[in-house]
C-alpha cells in the first residue's frame, strides 16, 4: 500500500492538478480530472486511454477571454499581443 500511496503522490496528484487547470481553461467541470487519475487503474486499456485524453487536452484550444472560472491570466493576454 505504501508503494501505491507514493506513486499517487508523485504522479497522480500533479496529474490531477494539471488536468484540473486545463479543464477549467476549456470551461469543463474540474471533477472530470478525477477520470484522468482513476483511468490508469484499468490494465492495458487505461494507459492508452489516458494518453489519448492528454493529447486531447494539449491539442484543444482554450477559451479566449474570461470564462465562468475566472478572468483570463495576464500571461495569455501578453502572449496574444506578440502574435
Q: Which residue has the cell 504522479?
A: 11
pLDDT one-digit tens code per residue, 26-58: 888 888 888 777 777 777 887 788 888 888 888
Q: Is the pTM of this model over 0.75?
A: no
Distance between CA atoms of residues 13 and 7, nearest Å: 9
Amino acid at each position: 500500500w505504501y508503494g501505491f500511496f507514493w506513486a499517487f503522490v508523485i504522479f497522480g496528484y500533479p496529474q490531477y492538478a494539471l488536468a484540473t487547470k486545463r479543464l477549467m481553461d476549456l470551461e469543463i467541470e474540474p471533477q472530470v480530472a478525477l477520470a484522468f487519475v482513476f483511468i490508469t487503474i484499468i490494465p492495458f486499456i487505461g494507459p492508452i486511454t489516458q494518453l489519448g485524453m492528454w493529447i486531447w487536452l494539449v491539442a484543444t484550444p482554450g477559451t479566449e477571454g474570461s470564462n465562468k472560472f475566472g478572468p483570463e491570466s495576464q500571461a495569455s493576454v501578453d502572449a496574444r499581443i506578440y502574435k
